Structure 1
Amino acid sequence: MDQALREHLATVDRLVGISCLTDGAEQIFANAVLEAGGQLLVVVPADGHRENLPPSARQDYDALVRRAFDVVSLRFGEPTAEAYRAAARHMLERADQLVAVWDRRSADTAGGPVDVIREAIRRRIPVKVIWPSRPAVPSR
């Protein structure tokens, strides 16, 4: 996945990655954007989003937030399904393309890959799906 993601990002002019920095694929994506010389915009779905991440993902989350050129916090008190769907909509409103790094483990989650890909298609935003060679192991 890393190689395919990096190869794709190398083709993007004026690279700006937009992410909620959830654990797994989103943090891999954010790191790849920065390593490719791009900028990072972080969308925080709700208060408590960081605490909702597995403890093992919080240090990387903090490091990526510090490297972001902007952090947008949505006005949700708790990280609910509604908050994650709103974050996905917010990201798509700013996106020229959706790069979906789908690890096959979050297909039915709110604001997860299926929801986001469907919404991008509805909005006529080009979608590039990058599949890992094997599913990511949940860190939870």
Structure 2
Amino acid sequence: MSHIGVTGHRHLPAAVLPAVRLGMTAELSACADARALSSLAAGADQLFAGIALDRGVPVTAVIPGMDYEAHLGDEEVRASYRRLLESCTARVDLPREPTHEDAYYAAGRWIVDHADRLVAVWDGRPARGRGGTADVVAYARRTGVPVRVLWSPGVTRD
């Protein structure tokens, strides 16, 4: 069984979505017995989990140790989170962390620690806060987990 984790930005420019969807689908199709690992955050995490579930790939939700749902965004994002969470085959609730940034980073590290490879929807720029996509990618690379970066050249995020 191959575990494929995801990390990525919450706000994805429309220009990257076709390449990101195609790359995620390819990663999830590369192994007949794949399992997906996602925190179900807005943006890349929810997109990945949705594609996995649509393809019949089991998803494990990795929930940061904080009042997570309240910080996910607007009601539409929270409703999507709840729908995806209901469809997950497993849920991992992480211990409470001192700050939200620590909680996000702990979830990213858990995903990397349990993944055979990581899909990163990342523009290549530094994290905007501790535990951001760049931090999780750096952690994966330090620990030897293969990372596939999905992004469209020349596209910047807000």
TM-score normalised by length of structure 1: 0.85
Q: Which residue of 2 aligns with 1:60?
A: 80
Matched, 1:50 2:69: yes
Q: Which residue of 2 aligns with 1:73?
A: 93
Aligned to 2:31, what secondary structure does the other structure show?
Answer: coil
Post-superposition CA distance 1:28-78 (Å, at most 9, x none)? 011111122211001110231011011220111001100111111112167
Report which stretch shifted further, 95-104 or 40-49. Answer: 95-104
Superposed displacement of residue 102, structure 1: 2.3
Which ranges in structure 2 are unaligned for 5 or more consecutive residues? 1-19
Matched, 1:93 2:113: yes
User: Which amino acid is the alignment partner of residue 66 of structure 2?
Assistant: D
Post-superposition CA distance 1:76-135 (Å, at most 9, x none)? 167611111111111111100011122678832322211111111111111111115756
User: Which amino acid is the alignment partner of residue 126 of structure 1?
Assistant: P
User: Which amino acid is the alignment partner of residue 58 of structure 1?
Assistant: R
Distance in 2 between residues matched to 1:28 and 1:20, nearest whole Å: 11
The structure-2 alpha-carbon separation of the partners of 1:80 and 1:58, relative to structure 1 and needing over 3 Å to count, comes to same
Aligned to 1:129, what secondary structure does the other structure show?
Answer: strand
- The structure 1 residue matched to 2:103, chosen from 76, 83, 90, is 83
Distance in 2 between residues matched to 1:73 and 1:37, nearest whole Å: 23
Q: After superposition, where does 1:30-45 map in structure 2 within 5 Å?
A: 30-45=49-64
Aligned to 2:26, what secondary structure does the other structure show?
Answer: helix
Residues paired across the two proteins, number: 137
Aligned to 1:98, what secondary structure does the other structure show?
Answer: strand
TM-score normalised by length of structure 2: 0.77
The structure-2 alpha-carbon separation of the partners of 1:120 and 1:67, relative to structure 1 and needing over 3 Å to count, comes to same
Superposed displacement of residue 4, structure 1: 2.5
Matched, 1:112 2:122: no
Q: Percent identity?
A: 31
